Structure 1
Amino acid sequence: MIFDCHTHLFLPGQVGGAWGAAAKRAWNMEVIATPEQHEACVRGFDGAIVLAFDAPATGCLVPNEDVARYVATAPGKLFGFASVDPNRPDAPRLLEEAVKEHKLCGLKIAPIYQNFYPNDPKHYALYAKANELKLPIMWHQGTSFVPEGYLDASRPVELDPIARTFPDLKMIIAHMGHPWIDECISVVRKNTNVYMDLSALGSRPWQFYNALVSAIEYGVAHKILFGSDFPFFTTQQTIDSLRSAGRFAVGTPLPPIEDDVIESIIHRNTPELLGLV
């Protein structure tokens, strides 16, 4: 199995405001990911999670309905995660609606794009609803290129009280919480149902190598999920960067990254781990 746990759909006009302007500065690109482009990215692989995005604070709005419509074209291969801005007063109801009406099977939230503090008690009703519905939550905990985002809300350790409150709630920390990777690993190690994905790290090879070594040394490489962050990177690019991540150690005293560790990440059965199937 090769399953990409972190991909996006961005139709024309859905990324604007601060998010769109910052993406142009950081990536020199218009952020577009059509269904046709997404299908081409995951063609030949076993499946992917496709993420909605409800982030009015920074100008990124990918409706749950659009993701639901697309993933319905490949049931059993594509899995849609809803996005609900936790600042919305009816956030728990909107999440339940996304599940019951649109058949979405997870929740994507991102403090640095939605401008909220994860451990604020007023947001716990949303987490409780996800827990009730047995939905995994994917968190963007880590840095971003959007100046208006709440960087201080984005540290992985912010999720530890939530994991303790809802020990059965499956959560994924995207991008291994970069640049707070060891902090992310600490949260993942102590909480049974918290995982991390390595999406977007391949573009920083030295950081990527050290992240993998640290995960191995802490004994949590089995909790790394494979993801690309399409359209910023493709599934195949991420496979290639992962298989070359250990090159820094060749012919040196640096810790090696064994091939079986790399292949176990690439072939991880993420749908089963997250209860999607």
Structure 2
Amino acid sequence: MIIDCHCHAGMGDGLTGPWDTRASLRDYLQRAAAAGIHRTVLFSAFHSNYAVANQEVARIVASGSSRFYGFAFVHAERDRGRIHKLIEIAVKRYGFVGIKVHRHDAAITREICAAARAYALPVLYDVAGEVSVCELLAQEYPDVNFIIPHLGSFADDWRAQLAVIDHLVRHPNIYADTSGVRRFDLLEQAVKRAGAAKILFGSDGPWLHPGVELAKIKVLRLPLSQENLILGGNFRNLIGIAGRRQAMLLAGGLRS
């Protein structure tokens, strides 16, 4: 089963770019199906109220039956003091299995990490090139798993991406996804040095083509067991209890 661990969905409420305006899944779903992608992790576009945005993502997740997983997007500063409540709603009402945080909004906080620990959720944290925080996260929250998208930098900062590879090697709870990584040699190096068990396939859909992003994993020409870890096995291991909780909740329908 191939799982895309990184895709936005729903309406944003801004107009500065696609990332905060609209994340339509129409084309993405056709492309993902053609590429053989079975399931997708969804979280919202950038939004000024993630409680509203997460609710919309929850409706999309519920409409797709077993097609989607949901991650709760939170803003470290604007949601300060209510992070735990937002995550509680996302887990118990929506069946979400992870947390999404972006440095573009604000730097990750202890409040977010504590909520992740409380509900045994992985955190997908876009560090936007500021990778030194991985050291602090790994030391302070060794029982929380962190996925660093884009190998640390969507802006092709090779220095940041090399630094993330070092963190992958040294810290058991630091992982990375492959979305938007253009330097193929760095993907090769990440797998060679850190191992396939530390890398997750992601596309950053709907704006990047999932088939193109998937092809980068295929041309690594890894043994099937390693490829299967990257394409879904690692994600299933990371969500663990949360994944089983989601299946039970969705089977009974979302609570209002």
TM class by smaller structure: 0.7 to 0.9
Instruction: Extract unaligned runs of 5+ from structure 1.
Output: 25-29, 143-153, 245-256
Task: Give 5+ residue unaligned stretches, structure 2.
Answer: 245-256
Equivalent residue for 1:260, pick from 211, 223, 236: 223
Q: 2:91 aligns with which of 79, 85, 99?
A: 99
* Residue pair 1:197, 1:224 contacting (<8 A) in 2 also: yes
Q: Which structure's relative contact order is higher, taking Cα pairs within 8 Å and 6+ residues apart?
A: 2
1:78 to 2:68 alignment: yes
Of 120, 125, 138, the residue aligned with 1:139 is 125
Give 1:62 deviation, angstroms: 7.0
Distance in 1 separating the partners of 2:146 and 2:52: 21
- What is the SS of the residue equivalent to 2:207? coil
Return the offset for 1:235.
1.9
Does residue 173 of the first structure (1) align with residue 148 of the second (2)? Answer: yes
**% of aligned pairs identical?**
26
Moved over 6 A (4+): 59-62
CA deviation after TM superposition for structure 1 residue 219, in Å: 3.3
Contact 2:147 2:175 in 1 (8 A): yes
Pick aligned residue for 1:47 from 39, 45, 61? 39
TM-fit CA distance, 1:61: 9.2
Normalised TM-score (structure 1): 0.73
- Over the residues paired in the alignment, what is the CA RMSD in angstroms? 2.7
Cα separation, 1, equivalents of 2:26 and 2:170: 40
Residue deviations 1:159-185 (CA, integer Å, cap 9, x gap): 221222221111100000022111111
Counterpart in 1 of 2:171?
191
**1:16, CA displacement in angstroms?**
2.1
**Is the Cα contact below 8 Å between 2:23 and 2:45 reproduced in 1?**
no
Distance 2:194 2:97 in 1: 29
Cα distance, 1:187 vs. partner?
1.6
Task: Quote the Cα distance in structure 2 between the aligned partners of 1:55 and 1:31.
Answer: 8
TM-score by length of 2: 0.79
Task: Indicate how the Cα distance of structure 1 residues 62 and 5 shifts in structure 2: closer, same or farther if over 3 A, else same.
Answer: farther
Cα distance in 2 for residues equivalent to 1:71 and 1:259: 31
- CA apart distance, 1:38: 4.0
SS at match of 1:81: strand
Structure 1 stretch 76-85 or stretch 35-44: which is displaced more? 35-44
Q: Max radius of gyration: which structure?
A: 1
